Structure 1
Amino acid sequence: MSDFGDFSSSSNDPTADFLARERAVLGGDADIFTTLDDTTSPTSFTATPDLGRSSALSQYGAMSPSSAVSTPANDYSVFESSYPKAENLETSKAFHKAMLPEEEPDVVRQWREKQKQVIAKRDEEESIKKQEVLNKAREDIDRFYEDYNDKKQKAIEENREREDKMLKSREESSASTNIWNSVSREFDISNAKAAYPTRDVSRMKGIILDLRKDQNAPGTIIS
């Protein structure tokens, strides 16, 4: 082995140096990650491994998963105990308090109740007024149809009376032997002056009266 020179490792362990530098960087927070197993430094590799088969096998045996990777059982418990629970944090309490509904002040509650009463009273008045309008509308509609039916019945009776008079006059005219009597009934042969301006028909009235009185007038005898 003297042909390869002196490959002996230095007195300082590189793994311990690395952990010391990390601890210096973390400062006071390094205590959080401190475990009981940190007192024993992990096994370091030899700087100059033996070229023999036995030393190589022993080295690979040292790097087995069970020995190389080890997670202490109390790592998580130490980490969890180092930090307070979320329920104990001031920020979580403030957030929870902010999410809770705030109690209404007395002034706001009184104003809300007063507004509710005002709205209820206004709705009641509007409902009463609406009912009054509907009742009046129904009464007006009923009155309208009553008047309409009365006028309709009255017009029917007047038309029936007029029709009866016309039929009676026609029967009398047809039974009379003097046609000029029927003609004279169709004209106003009275001497009363009309209330509205009309054409002068006094001469025609006189002729009709003369024909009605004349027994020999044409059309007097109806066969």
Structure 2
Amino acid sequence: MSGFGDNFDQPEVDPAAEFLAREQDELAGLEDEVKPAAITVPVINGDALPALQTDDFRGASPSPPPQRQEDRVEPEKIRKWREEQVKRLEEKDREEEKKKLELREIAKKELEDWYKNHEETIAKTKAANRNAEKQFVAEDNDLEPGTEWERIAKLCDFNPKAKQGSKDVSRMRSIILQMKQNPVPIKNKA
């Protein structure tokens, strides 16, 4: 079977290890040529940050210093768009404040109208209740024998239309109407 070119007897070689060994050999002399950069300690709000050891950067390639916001040049179109966006946002904020004020005024007026209508409704209901009470007291003094069922019938609602979910009172209604038409005297036990 050796004729097929299969050599399974050789140990496997790691290609990554081979690459790393080759790169280390090529870069071995560069450490002596590159001088370590001077490290400055940044100061933020008057506090110095802890100094870093130069050993921490050994073997790392020097990176370019970070660019400051002032150093970057912003393209003209982006700067114009940013300015226009700020103007648009300010305009929208002003419009929003105007609309808020308008809505508050409308809500205040509607609330005042609702309170006015509510007070009128309460006043009308109070007046109707007082008139009904006066009428009831005036009729109470006119108590004649045999008119008891008529008085009871006045207190009852004989509307045959029942509301959905209410009890069926048709039998009671028919009995009261029958007693009103053919009164049976109520005997006082006193």
Give TM-score scaled by structure 2 length.
Answer: 0.45
Higher helix share: 1
Give TM-score scaled by structure 1 length.
Answer: 0.39
Query: Higher relative CO (CA 8 A, sep ≥ 6), structure 1 or 2?
Result: 1
